[in-house]
Amino acid sequence: MWPVAAYGCESWTLRKNEETRLEAFEMKVLRKILRDCVLNKAGVKTELLVTVKAKKLAYYGHATRKQGKCLEKEIIQGTMSGACRQGRPRTAWIDNIKTWTGLPVEKSVSQNDRG
């Protein structure tokens, strides 16, 4: 890792900002190495994020299978009418589902309606 990070360093002009960034990068890499070492020694795998994603996807499937007009389904899918906020849109709940499944909402809803 260090050869990649220090490639061409002989010609760099180091200012205080660059020194700070190099030190921060080194600490970030060392924290990552130590974290992996500690987890391996303890024999532990990180599972929380995987569990949260699985539960969220399961709940999405449960909510989208509901028949007819349902307020809960409308809220989750973001189909309620109203004005949008000004500025950059915040990440919505449904945006996670779109990212994780790789499907637009219409496709994921139609697949869940079949099942």
pLDDT in tens, the chain (115 residues): 778 888 888 878 888 999 999 999 999 999 998 988 888 888 888 887 888 899 988 888 888 888 888 888 877 777 667 777 788 888 888 888 888 888 877 666 555 554 4
How much is the CA Rg of the chain, to the nearest whole Å?
23
Sign of the dihedral through C-alpha 115, 50, 101, 107: positive
Question: Are the C-beta atoms of 64 and 112 separated by less than 8 Å?
Answer: yes
CB atoms within 10 A of CB 97: 21
- Is residue 84 assigned to a domain? no
The number of folded domains in the chain is 2
pTM of the model: 0.55
Domain encompassing residue 56 = 48-77+92-114
- The answer as to whether 86 is a domain residue is no
What residue type is assigned to position 27 of the chain?
Answer: M
Give dist(CA 115, CA 16) in Å, integer.
Answer: 59
Count the neighbouring beta carbons within 10 Å of the beta carbon of residue 60: 22
